[in-house]
Chain A
Amino acid sequence: MYVAVKGGEAAIDNAHRLLADRRRGNRDVADLGLDQIMEQLSLAVDRVMSEGALYDRELAALAIKQARGDLIEAIFLARAYRTTLPRFGYTQPVDTGRMQVERRISACFKDLPGGQLLGPTFDYTHRLLDPALAGGAAPETPEVREPDAAPMMRVSDFLGQEGLLEPAPDPADKPVPDDIARNPMSYPMDRDARLQALARGDEGFLLSMGYSTQRGYARSHPFAGEIRIGEVELEIAVPELDFAAPLGRIQVTECQMVNQFQGSAKAPPQFTCGYGLVFGQAERKSMAMALVDRALRATELGEDLTAPAQDEEFVIAHSDNVQATGFVEHLKLPHYVDFQSELNLVRQMRAEVEARGETHQEAAE
């Protein structure tokens, strides 16, 4: 018989009060300001903005503070907040070619116009813990140099001139992209919808999937054609103005992965592209996204489907850490009634097996 019960209200209240206390920690230690999180944990802020699919540095910092640094919990908070706001519309597509570049590298060409600009990178550091940083040592002011006035041409532009790189998908073929934030996802999806899902996908998941393609599960022969980090302008068309309203700038990371492709029934031998675009400074994720984007184009390019990273539904349906955490973590909620019925079922099955066992024994005797 099912008897409805309730309870735990006081326990829940007290647990949340305890959470607030533990979040604050030792009161002798200064309270953490959002400005400190924004300035000094900026890559954590970027990750919450990217996977929360919400660009707002201050909100991301608040989410990180509230979540005690649990970034998936913070991403969940950002997503939840996002659903409370009205939508004003879609921006014009950002022009990453006119980015205010803070970092730009290519692993394909040494002498590319505009050069290799390392920017504030972890690359070439020795990954040795720095005790001086623990002591709060002040850094030196950055070195400066006269910038190169030459425009920073995309690597894909000069590779494309030779016709050896596939052209980007023509905007005329699909001027209005799908929006998975407004319409439920269905498979198979177009590349634009996949990129939207990957852009907010879990960095760790995309990293593992991208890594699997390098280890031979759907070989894609990738080269980092170009990675750039910097600010792009946003503008939005609105009815009250005769021109697109300028909104300001956001920081993004873009990765153009170039992949050797031997050709198939559908396409000639050439270089093909995987594309990554992520909010903030998120080089690892942009690279992983580009690898996965390329792997998921297997059907379009007529490649054999042999590996998990090529399985669109498998990859896209499991890339969202808010959905994943919701389903995994719901298991800890009370399942008392479900479990009672399972318990009864298993008891009954056991009794039946034991009864049959006795019968078999009797028959054998």
Chain B
Amino acid sequence: MSTTEPDHQPRRDRMAVLARAEGRQLRELWGGLGIDPAFEMVRGPETGLATVRGRISGDGAPFNFGDVTVTRASVRLQDGAVGHAYRLGRDQGVARLCAVIDALADDTVMAATIDSQLVEPLRETLAARDRQRQAETAATKVDFFTLVRGED
């Protein structure tokens, strides 16, 4: 379980959407914002591994189960705001962009713009995909019928 404090929740939610968003849509929406801040790289972007842990029987003691590729980036804007990004996969350009967005959202006014114009549309795309998959899965649910024994 995450130990997220309530005041971190908006940032965590934003990062969760940015991590899962499809690169092309993210770039398109970013282009639409018309923002192009100067920044310097603090770290990366770099690609490495995270070892995924599972739990024995689903909820028991942890075990290491396999690796996943992860790309991370950290940037600093001219006003000093620092942003971080972590994403599955190896797309370094998108990871750097996510770090810039995270840094920009340090400013509350900018955060509101980013959330409404960038994060919300991305979140909706992801949610729509989930809803579609859930509905497709639901259609494969087995309905059991009790066979009534005939009297005659």
Contact = CB atoms under 8 A, between A and B. Distances in A.
User: How big is the B interface, by class?
Assistant: 35 or more
Contacts of A91: 50-53, 68
A116 B141 contact: yes
Most B-side CB within 10 Å, residue of A120, A178, A196: A196
Given A94-B53, A196-B65, A243 B12 contact: yes
Contacts of A85: 47-49, 69
B142 A87 contact: no
A248 B70 CA distance: 10
Nearest to B14: A246
A311 B129 CA distance: 45
B57 A192 contact: no
B15 interface: yes
Contact of B3 (A100, A110, A243, A279): A243
Interface stretch (B30-38, B107-115, B132-140): B132-140
Contact of B62 (A121, A177, A200): A177
A171 B74 CA distance: 33
B80 interface: no
Interface in A108-135: 110-111, 115-121
A254 interface: yes
Say whether chain B's binding surface is mostly helix, strand, loop, or mixed: mixed
Interface in A241-287: 241-250, 252, 254, 256, 273, 275, 277, 279
B65 A244 contact: no
A185 interface: no
B2 A243 contact: yes
21 contacts: A85-B69, A87-B50, A93-B55, A94-B52, A94-B54, A101-B137, A103-B140, A117-B137, A120-B140, A144-B132, A145-B139, A168-B57, A177-B53, A177-B63, A178-B64, A192-B61, A234-B52, A245-B86, A247-B86, A247-B88, A254-B58
Interface of B: 1-5, 8, 11-12, 15-16, 19-20, 46-70, 72, 74, 84, 86-90, 130, 132-142, 144
Interface of A: 49-50, 53-56, 58-59, 82, 85-97, 100-103, 110-111, 115-121, 142-148, 154, 156, 167-171, 173-181, 191-193, 195-196, 199-200, 233-236, 238, 240-250, 252, 254, 256, 273, 275, 277, 279
Q: Closest 6 CB pairs between A and B?
A: A168-B60, A168-B57, A192-B63, A246-B16, A144-B135, A248-B88
